[in-house]
Amino acid sequence: MTHTGFLDHLRIASGPLAEVALAIRHRPGALVFEDETGRQTDLDMRGTEDEIRARHTVPARGPGRPKLGVTAREVTLLPRHWDWLAAQLGGASVALRKLVETASHEPSAARNAARDAAYRFASALGGNQAGFEEAMRMLYAGKRKKFHRQLESWPPDVRVYLEKLAAPAFGSNDEPDG
């Protein structure tokens, strides 16, 4: 997973979290964003360079079966839904996991995720920019050209990164801008 660090409206670094952390280490006020989700990431910058690198490096997966990271939560369904789930091969948990996996690979899910990532980033670094509200309306309306027009006056690094995050939100067959 990659991240990008900004100081004010300038892109400082992009890449693995540990590398971005080291690049912004001595830059108070720098913000780091997860490239996939547009979420801001808080970093623990205490300690030496090696300690920072170790803290923000994702460990390599070793041999053997990966941990699933299963989290038990409550789901509320109607009795007929529970009956259907219970009748599925593998039971309710397997059936629900398969349904979620299938839905998460739908093209609309990727477009929605890209839209939300672009909005999160734009809100953090572009919320005070001219045309912010109209740009977000065009993003959610799928109007690529109008979205890009609203960003023309934005700081270049912010604009380029936002356009990159937003690109999958428009898909290949978005509506003509008219």
* pLDDT confidence tier of residue 86, bands split at 50, 70 and 90: confident
Q: Where are the alpha helices (DSSP H) in the chain?
A: 17-24, 49-55, 79-87, 91-104, 107-125, 132-141, 144-150, 156-170
Q: For residue range 49-79, what is the model confidence (pLDDT) as tens digits?
A: 999 999 998 776 667 666 666 777 788 888 8
Give the separation between CA 19 and CA 117, rounded to whole angstroms: 22
Q: Could you read off the pLDDT of 3-49 as tens digits, one per residue?
A: 999 999 999 999 999 999 999 999 999 999 999 999 999 999 999 99
> What pLDDT, on the 0 to 100 scale, is given for residue 129?
95
> Residue 94 carries which DSSP code?
H
Residue 178 has pLDDT above 80, yes or no: no
Strand-pair category, 40-41 with 10-16: unpaired
Domain boundaries, the chain: 2-55, 107-170
pLDDT band (50, 70, 90) for residue 175: low
Give the pTM.
Answer: 0.77
pLDDT band at 123 (very low <50, low <70, confident <90, very high): very high
What's the residue count for the chain? Answer: 178
Which CA distances in Å does 49 have to 53, 91, 143? 6, 48, 44
Which one-letter amino acid corresponds to residue 16? P
Mean pLDDT for 111-127 is 95
